[in-house]
Structure 1
Amino acid sequence: MRFLSAGQVARLVDAGPHARPYYRALADAMRAAVMGGQIPVRVRMPAERDLARTLGVSRTTVTAAYDLLRERGFLESRQGSGSWTALPDPAVTADNPWLAVDGEGLIQLHAAAPPAPSALRAAMAQAVEEVPRYGMGNGYHPLGLPVLRERIAARYTERGLATRPEQILVTTGSQHAIMVVLGVLAGAGDAIIVESPTYPHAIDAARRLGARVTSVGVSSGGWPEDLVSGAMRQAAARLAYLMPDFQNPTGALMDDATRSAVVGAARRTGTFLLVDETWSELALDEVPRTAPMAAFDTGGTVISIGSASKLWWGGLRIGWIRTTAALARRMAQHRASVDIASPVLEQLVVAALFERLAQTRAERRRTLRASRDALVTELRARLPGWEFAVPPGGGTLWIRLDSGSAASLAEAAACHGVRIAPGPWFGLEGTLDGYLRLPFTQPPQVLKEAVTRLHTARRLGLTGAVRRPDALSPMV
């Protein structure tokens, strides 16, 4: 379809005759029709005069609705040529509340999750075309669809780590991957090393097993190799969970020399390394090229996990594990008692997205860098006492407050319309209360408004106790 008539748009859009202001209701209805697929993307819309006549409203009303859609990124116009529907670019969209605000009207800065990239729609359409031939089977693929495992393995090989599809196990997200690995390799009483700060759900997974969790400090400056090695040796650690690529939340990137040293230390102490590469594709600046940590491993010490959630979209719920072929089969047998296999359609979508990897990386680099720079500028202007290093990649700032409690600030911020993640969420036993994680995965305008609210919350102040994220408030 190349264009829509005024009559067709009028049938597809129900703004309600008594809605006020009508132009906003009309714009919201058009936006909902685009997002819902009733109005295709890149289709020419009717002239303002024609649509106004059909709807029985003034041309000024339709002009205002079109202006609002253009401002929000759902309409592109060229003088003399008309207007076409579009999807918003998070880097330039001024008003995108359906991406940035939850049902309670709070700006969501507690989760570092970007919206879907522009490639998602085409990848989904391709997957839908392919799924019927998979319907001839039972739909259960405990190791994952062969086509997706091949593309994940090929990507590791491109990054300098020769990998066969037999070494890949597809999971239902990276959190599921962590649970599968720990379920096979660790148990009650085992010592598990985590970074401090670290991904909160990794701590939760280890504690759920009854493991003894201990931490080693990491900062934006990196990992002290001697402390990591010493912690593994002194704790007789069964496993260490590390995030060497734009670590969440510090944004640190581990250099190759440290990677090699840590892998060597793990081999000597008999410690498995669970390496989370969720952010590995998201370099925003020019950084030294690093090899996957498993490239320094020769004996199955390193188990790597990855995810579609940050590069592509968290709603896909697809992750993966790279390990030895034998251990991948063993983990597939273990996961069968939990969820049997990951959804076929979502796996096909991710396989299609791998064909668009370069496109998405370029888009993410542009949008996340714009958001990061906007957040940094606003923080330095409004909250100059807060200290942080600007990360060269990833999606978060790890901020040291100049005074006060991050837990109390989080309570105050919620009262002023923004949800944030205080430092204790990322550490053990209530530590890190002088720190705060702020993601830059929202559009710049949303981040600027969030900092304004944080400035107000800090100025007015509010006391309160820290709360761990619950099952309905995912921390990512």
Structure 2
Amino acid sequence: MDSRVSARALTAALGGWRTREPAYEALADGIRLLCLDNRLAPRTALPAERELAASLHVSRSTVAAAYRSLRDTGHIASVRGSGSETLPLGRRDTGRVASTEGAIDLQQASPPAWPGLAGVVSEVAGQAAALVARVGYDVLGRSDLRGAIAEHYTRRGIPTDASEVIVTTGAQSAIHLLASVLLGRGDRVLIETPTYPHAADAFRRAGARLVGVPVTAAEGWDMDRAEQALARTLPVAAYLMPDFQNPTGRSMTPEDRTIMLAAAERAGTVVILDETTADLDIDRGWVAPAFLHGEPGSVVRLGSLGKTVWGGLRVGWIRGEADLIRRLVAARSTQDLGTPEFEQAVAAALLPRFAEIVAQRSHLLRTGRDAAIAALHSALPEWTVPTPSGGVSLWIELDAPLSSALVMHVRSRGLLLSAGSRFAVDGGHDRHLRLPFTAPTDQLERAAAILAEAWPRVRGGAPVAAVEQLEAVV
């Protein structure tokens, strides 16, 4: 077994698992969802039945029956005397439809490729002879691409030199690299909750302790909590998405940015700004201000072309002081050997057309957002559906904290979603559901119809006492 999850940790991750009867199947569904989201990695040892029963305040027979159900669906394996462990995805009945044909997969919030991408790729492929004469990958990044990225920041009012940029294999690679260089085991990281879950995973793997600051679709960031958390915990780093935050879609006001920066500077905290969604403006209509005036070295920015151009174009970058860039280059060989030349050449050809690309994305996302909101308002008027001014998803508030149960229920109907708890830092968010609006409008309308059909059954099948208890907690 590669790792072990304690009964206490599993209980926290399960959150409001008591979403239907019988209790053992509700518990099994909760663990299945953790496996599907990879919050329980393959080959993770589960707690003993007696320990988990005590932590969940249920009978041991309930846990035993849940484990038996998980064995039947191939999610776990049990060996007498060795306990139970989760299985790799390929050996599980994942809960998906038998065939993916006709399924609506809204687990990934990525728009389809920008229509002009194929032409650009073909043009770059015409330079293949020159490209293959080079090494093929680059630990720092092509000088022309780093220069184009620097110019992109300079146009935004953040004067940048190419020496302040390193090119990575996507934003996720950038986050892992920053975590490995900036953090040590036990260091604290301030992070929004809900947040981009893979960033939280990266910081945890670096040994960091996460300090959550609430952000909501309706009110934005709790700046009082943020200031208090920075002053009290003195985190080494703060990870923020100030523009079209994932998953809420909110953007910080200029005042929020000023307050956050001042509090971070007082705490000696490095501010990591994830701007992967910052250019996906639908109708805000104004350019986001620089997070600060003068851009001190305590602010590091990361971006990518994954959301704006295509998720398959694995090119990202980090913008920071030249000294930090040198440290990142020195540490990178333990993670990867560099970004492929071909993808960098494509990215360098795309950046001069960035305004054209962003305009097309804005139109595409507006169409999807408006279609999703209209369909949900019509089908599920009891839900609170926000209207974000940009980004890629809706952070919907349900009228009962049953997001996980709903996600499991609609999987068998061919609708694949991520529950609100997937985006939590310290548990919770079972009252919320993330619904990306990057899919075609007909799929979004079908998704709303499936959710409308399923919701009464999910809500009606949950034990009344459990729902009331969950609502009291939430």
Partner of 1:152: 149
Conserved in 1, the CA contact under 8 Å of 2:188 and 2:237? yes
Deviation, structure 1 residue 297: 5.1
Query: Aligned match of 1:421 in 412, 418, 435?
Result: 418
Matches within 5 A, 1:421-440: 421-440=418-437
Alignment counterpart, residue 325 of structure 1, candidates 322, 333, 341: 322
Unaligned runs of 5+ in 2: 1-97, 463-474
Query: In 1, distance between residues paired with 2:394 and 2:233?
Result: 30
Q: Could you say what secondary structure the match of 2:312 adopts?
A: helix
Is the 2:141–2:339 Cα contact (8 Å) retained in structure 1? Answer: yes
Amino acid at match of 2:232: Q
Residues 237-289 of structure 1 show CA distances to partners (whole Å, capped at 9, x for unaligned) of: 01111000100001001122221221121111110111100011111003343
Equivalent residue, structure 1, for 2:469 = none
Q: How many angstroms does 1:104 deviate by?
A: 5.6
Corresponding residue number in structure 2 for 1:265: 263
Greater Cα radius of gyration, structure 1 or 2: 1
Q: Paired residue for 1:292?
A: 290
8 Å Cα contact 2:195/2:425 also seen in 1 = no
Partner of 1:244, secondary structure, is coil
2:240 equivalent in structure 1: 242
Match of 1:195 among 180, 183, 192: 192
CA–CA separation in structure 2 for the residues paired with 1:246 and 1:278: 9
In structure 1, what is the equivalent of residue 277 of structure 2? 279
2:197 pairs with 1:167: no
1:394-432 CA-to-partner distances (Å, cap 9, x unmatched) read 111001101241000000110111011111100124311
C-alpha displacement of 1:336: 1.7
Q: Post-superposition shift, 1:299?
A: 3.0
Which deviates further from its counterpart, 239-248 or 259-268? 259-268
Q: Distance in 2 between matches of 1:203 and 1:316?
A: 23
> Deviations 1:305-335 (Å, cap 9, x if unpaired)?
0011110001011111000111112101111
> Which aligned pairs between 1:401-420 and structure 2 lie closer than 5 A?
401-420=398-417
Verify: 1:208 aligned to 2:205, yes or no. yes
Secondary structure class of the residue paired with 1:296: coil
- 1:23-102 equivalences under 5 Å are none
Task: Return the TM-score normalized by structure 1.
Answer: 0.74
What is the CA deviation profile of residues 417-458 of structure 1, one whole-angstrom value per residue up to 9, with x for unaligned ones?
101111110012431111110010011111001111111121
8 Å Cα contact 1:175/1:201 also seen in 2: yes
Counterpart of 2:64 in structure 1 is: none
Matches of 1:151 and 1:129 in 2, distance apart? 21
Tell me how far apart the structure 2 counterparts of residues 102 and 292 of structure 1 sit (CA, whole Å). Answer: 47
Task: Decide whether the 8 Å contact of 1:263 with 1:296 is kept in 2.
Answer: no
Q: Deviations over 1:331-359 (max 9, x none)?
A: 01111222110111111111111122122
TM-score (norm 2): 0.74
Q: Distance in 2 between matches of 1:425 and 1:197?
A: 8
Tell me which amino acid in the other structure corresponds to 1:242: L
Match of 1:122 in 2: 119
- Unmatched tracts of structure 1, length 5 or more: 1-100, 465-476
3-state DSSP of counterpart to 1:250:
coil
Alpha-carbon distance in 2 for matches of 1:404, 1:219: 16
In the TM superposition, what whole-angstrom CA distance separates every residue of 1:82-116 from its partner, at most 9, and x where no partner exists?
A: xxxxxxxxxxxxxxxxxxx9836421111101110
The code of the aligned residue for 2:154 comes to: T
CA distance in 1, matches of 2:316, 2:148: 13
Inter-partner Cα distance in structure 2 for 1:152 and 1:281: 14
Candidates 448, 452, 456, aligned match of 2:449: 452
Contact 2:373–2:385 (Cα < 8 Å) also in 1: no
Distance 1:330 1:110 in 2: 35
Aligned partner of 2:249 in structure 1 is: 251
Task: Please identify, of 279-288 and 172-181, the stretch whose mean Cα deviation from structure 2 is larger.
Answer: 279-288
For residue 378 of structure 1, report the CA deviation from its aligned partner: 0.3
AA partner of residue 303 (structure 2): G
Query: How far, CA to CA, are the matches of 2:372 and 2:268 in structure 1?
Result: 42
The answer as to whether partners of 1:119 and 1:353 remain within 8 angstroms in 2 is no
1:199-252, CA deviations, whole angstroms, 9 ceiling, x for partnerless residues? 001111111112111200011222232321211121120111100010000100
Contact kept in structure 2, 1:423 and 1:433, CA below 8 Å: yes
Q: Could you report, residue by residue, the CA deviation over 1:39-92 in whole angstroms, capped at 9, with x for unpaired residues?
A: xxxxxxxxxxxxxxxxxxxxxxxxxxxxxxxxxxxxxxxxxxxxxxxxxxxxxx
